[in-house]
Amino acid sequence: MLFIKGPVLTQQGLREPHTSVDVDVLAEPATMPRLLDALAGLGWRVAVEPTSALVLPLHSTTLRHESWACELDVHDRFPGFLAEPTDVFEALWDRRTTVEIAHRQVPCPDEVAHGTIAALHWLRDGWTSATQEKLNYLTFALAPHLNGSGRADLVELAQKTGSVEPLRPFLDMLGIDVPATGHDTTLWRIRTASTGVKSVGWLVELRQTPLRRLPARLWHALVLTEAEIRGEQPDTPPGAWGLFRARVRRLRYGLRDLPRAARIIWTESRRS
């Protein structure tokens, strides 16, 4: 298991200090059920069972514990690494190191590998001035690690993990030119172009849903679960009436976004 993002990234000097609200770990995919069972035994429970549609596959399980103020985000994959999750984990595991957190040595990816994770994390929501600022900081901080074999290591890692295209803006900033690998980047491009457009996930999923399952899934798209609705809209008053109004509000926003969502999917699918 590797600890990623948050204080580890700060400790490695790859991002400015900030207060984290969760702890992120990347687990070897095959060990996920065992790890989640062990954590459940210690009182860590799934925060809200996710049933909503997503553009990219669900990448983590969010856990909460009644005695802890922060959440635990257990990843078995990381968005933007388009290779098989097991291969991605292996590639990152090969580049593991440790940093000291809470006076303990904590396993984590080394600076080059962690730099790619951070870049993908910030690029996932599209390009903004905040993205630019964080990537500027990251490229500056990574510079000492990209001497000698560092640049070749970064290229090799990007190729192995299928993240060349998702990392392209970051690689451009580093002045690294790498030929594209054969991974399909359509969903990644849809995801990065559609931050805040929640109906995109449903459109992507419903397009691929078999006809016999379509009515049930469409109904679920309209109503969602109470836990997810209340998670999305924490101010929802208790009771059926409050829930009904929250559902209507969600539908209104979803329908308003629908033309934009369809346009993004159409544009990005045509580019593939």
Partner 1 sequence: MSGACRIGPEVAWVEDAEHDRVAVLDLDRLDQPAAVLTDTSAVIWLCVGGSSTDEEIVTQVAAAYEVNPDEIREQVLAFLGDLEQRDLIVRT
Query: Given the rule CB under 8 A, which residues bind partner 1?
Result: 42-43, 67-68, 101-104
Distance CA 213, CA 215 (A): 6
Which of 43/215 has CB closer to partner 1? 43
What is the closest distance, in whole angstroms, from the C-beta atom of residue 39 to partner 1 in the complex?
A: 9
Radius of gyration of the chain (CA): 20
What is the closest distance, in whole angstroms, from the C-beta atom of residue 43 to partner 1 in the complex?
A: 7
Which of 35/173 has CB closer to partner 1? 35
Comparing CA positions, the residue from 131, 173, 135, 179 lying closest to residue 155 is 179
Which of 19/208 has CB closer to partner 1? 19
Which of 16/100 has CB closer to partner 1? 100
Distance CA 114, CA 112 (A): 6
Q: Are 108 and 98 in contact (CB under 8 A)?
A: yes
Q: What are residue 14's phi and psi, to 5 degrees?
A: -95, -10
What is the closest distance, in whole angstroms, from the C-beta atom of residue 107 to partner 1 in the complex?
A: 14
Comparing CA positions, the residue from 22, 52, 49, 19 lying closest to residue 199 is 52
Structure tokens belonging to residue 50:
């996710």
CA distances from 91 to 123, 153, 196, 205, 216 (A): 20, 11, 31, 30, 39
What is the closest distance, in whole angstroms, from the C-beta atom of residue 113 to partner 1 in the complex?
A: 24
Which of 102/211 has CB closer to partner 1? 102
Which of 43/196 has CB closer to partner 1? 43
Q: Are 185 and 82 in contact (CB under 8 A)?
A: yes
Which of 41/175 has CB closer to partner 1? 41
What is the closest distance, in whole angstroms, from the C-beta atom of residue 152 to partner 1 in the complex?
A: 36
What is the closest distance, in whole angstroms, from the C-beta atom of residue 47 to partner 1 in the complex?
A: 19
Pairing of β 22-26 and β 96-101: unpaired
Q: What is the DSSP string of 51-79?
A: -S--SSPP-EEEEE-TT-SSEEEEESS-T
What is the closest distance, in whole angstroms, from the C-beta atom of residue 65 to partner 1 in the complex?
A: 9
